[in-house]
Amino acid sequence: MITRRDFLKIAAFSSLLGLGGAFTINALEKEPGQKVLKDIKALKGKRWAMVIDTRKFKTQEDFEKVIRACHKAHNVPEIANPLHEVKWIWTDDYEHSFAGTAEEYISTEVKERKFLLLCNHCDNAPCVRVCPVKATFKRPDGITMQDMHRCIGCKFCMAGCPYGARNYNFLPPRDYIKELNPEYPTRTIGVVEKCTFCNERIDRGLLPYCVEASEGKIIFGDLYDPNSEIRKVLSENIVIRRKVELGTQPMVFYII
Amino acid sequence: MYDGWKIILGLVVFVVIVTLPFTMSVGKTYVEPKPSIDTPEIQKMEKKQCIEPKQYMREMHIKLLYSWKDYATREGKRLYVASDGKTYTISLQNTCLKCHSNKEKFCDECHNYVNVKPYCWDCHIEPKVGGLK
Ligand code: SF4
Ligand code: SF4
């Protein structure tokens, strides 16, 4: 017979070894031979970044084409009420896009330009730091990702993000999607969503939708690769970023 | 026995509540769930087998899906090599449901039977009957 004292001893030791609480959800440890792999076609990068050539965006259609490509593919709902709207990529004017650093005496032409805005995939992302359930996290390649299954809708990340890149689903999103893309999920009411740098495409070796649709007006690449196109573009142009003074290290650059 | 009737009444109530799950199903006919694999995509297969053996899928499919989700979203690993060496794209919507395009007759059949309500379909788009829309 096992005494109470022995039982407690065993329990204490096994919890020390982490046996008692050992719980794994990983089903792939059960069968031999099962593996998960990265696609060999996947784009490889250490720090994905984006340069938007704002000089090349001229007509309304230039912007719309890019926004439509993203929103259609990702089943982003179209909600007119600005209190409830959801957007992954959108536009604003010079003064609001670069609040705090906008030069007052810059040319009128620049002042009147519109700027494409999206999640900056900040290297030092405040949204990641404040998420209490680690639903929002950084991938090793720098993408600020969000696990929708895990989001509890607390909205801390929305408060943490200084760029307004995050939107809460106040309304059931499916009611506001005209045409569903059957290959991508929607979101549900009560979660936060934003641009994902199209990681699902990068993992398959494709460039983000917006980059593709921009026809050369947006450059995407690995900031840590000195031979990449994005580094070449950055070395040849003067760029600005949004709210650098906050120390978030945004990864979206704007050629003025 | 003091207050004997109270104790007995309490016991009766207790027994009624505890046996409720059994008594409530008295008279209801037992219908065994029969998930159907009759979809165009599965009909095309020579050997009608899921990515892993049937028993494994029966027991583990939700855990497998959870692991898939973590590998895909957290680590960017989007290919699954099954124990028989075949490779599949990790995707509930684009891999599982491509074959199981009859969600109502497949997934729901058992889920309804055991009264579980997975919320997969709040976000993942279920196929229209007869294949992805
Ligand atoms: S822009 Fe906002 S949502 Fe995107 S990484 Fe930075 S803080 Fe997070
Ligand atoms: S990177 Fe992808 S998700 Fe982000 S704005 Fe561009 S198309 Fe949309």
- Pick the atom of ligand 2 nearest to A66's CA: 7
Instruction: Evaluate if residue A193 carries a pLDDT over 50.
Output: yes
Q: Is A164 helix (H, G, I), strand (E, B) or coil?
A: coil
**Min Cα–Cα distance to chain B from A36, Å:** 5
d(CA A118, ligand 2 centre) in Å: 8
Query: Is A210:A218 a contact under the CB 8 Å cutoff?
Result: yes
Task: Give the DSSP H/E element, type plus range, for residue A63.
Answer: helix A60-73
Residue A12's pLDDT band, with cuts at 50, 70 and 90, is: confident
Would an 8 Å CB–CB cutoff place A30 in contact with chain B?
A: yes
Pairwise CA distance, residues B37 & B53, whole Å: 14
Choosing among A24, A31, A146, which should be mutated to test the B contact, i.e. which has the most B CBs within 10 A?
A31
Ligand nearest to the CA of A197: 2
A214: how many CB neighbours lie within 10 A of its CB? 23
Share of chain B above pLDDT 90, in %: 77
Residue B133's pLDDT band, with cuts at 50, 70 and 90, is: very low
Residue of A nearest to B64 (CA): A27
Average pLDDT over residues B20-46: 88
Residue of B nearest to A134 (CA): B74
Query: A201-212, pLDDT tens digit by residue?
Result: 999 999 999 999
Average pLDDT over residues A161-181: 97
A-to-B residue pairs, Cβ atoms closer than 8 angstroms: 94
Task: Give the DSSP H/E element, type plus range, for residue B109.
Answer: helix B107-113
pLDDT at site A184: 97
Model confidence, pTM = 0.85
**Per-residue tokens: B22:** 């059994």
Share of chain A above pLDDT 90, in %: 85
Instruction: Evaluate if residue A23 carries a pLDDT over 50.
Output: no
pLDDT at site A20: 46
pLDDT at site A170: 97
Query: A219-256, pLDDT tens digit by residue?
Result: 999 999 999 999 999 999 999 999 999 999 999 999 99
Q: Is A253 helix (H, G, I), strand (E, B) or coil?
A: strand
Query: A32-61, pLDDT tens digit by residue?
Result: 778 999 999 999 999 999 999 999 999 999
d(CA A109, ligand 2 centre) in Å: 27
Share of chain A above pLDDT 70, in %: 92
Instruction: Evaluate if residue B7 carries a pLDDT over 90.
Output: yes
pLDDT at site B29: 79
Task: Give the DSSP H/E element, type plus range, for residue B63.
Answer: helix B54-75
Query: B36-88, pLDDT tens digit by residue?
Result: 999 999 999 998 999 999 999 999 999 999 999 999 999 999 999 999 999 99
Q: Compute CA distances A71 → A89, A146, A213, B22, whole Å.
A: 8, 17, 12, 50
Average pLDDT over residues B94-121: 93
pLDDT at site A10: 77
Instruction: Evaluate if residue A123 carries a pLDDT over 60.
Output: yes
Average pLDDT over residues B101-129: 91
Average pLDDT over residues A53-80: 97
The residue to which tokens 């070395």 are assigned: A235
Q: Using the 8-state DSSP alphabet, how is residue B118 labeled?
A: -
Pairwise CA distance, residues A110 & A185, whole Å: 38
Would an 8 Å CB–CB cutoff place A141 in contact with chain B?
A: yes
Task: Take atom 3 of ligand 2 and give the residue whose Cα is closest.
Answer: A195
pLDDT at site B21: 86
pLDDT at site A27: 61
Q: What is the mean pLDDT of chain A?
A: 92
Residue B28's pLDDT band, with cuts at 50, 70 and 90, is: confident
User: What type of residue sits at position B54?
Assistant: K
Maximum average pLDDT range among A2-16, A26-40, B112-126: B112-126
Query: A85-96, pLDDT tens digit by residue?
Result: 999 999 999 999
pLDDT at site A121: 98
Q: Compute CA distances A233 → A93, A194, A239, A253, B87, whole Å.
A: 23, 26, 10, 10, 38
Contacting residues of A for B94, CB less than 8 Å apart: 183
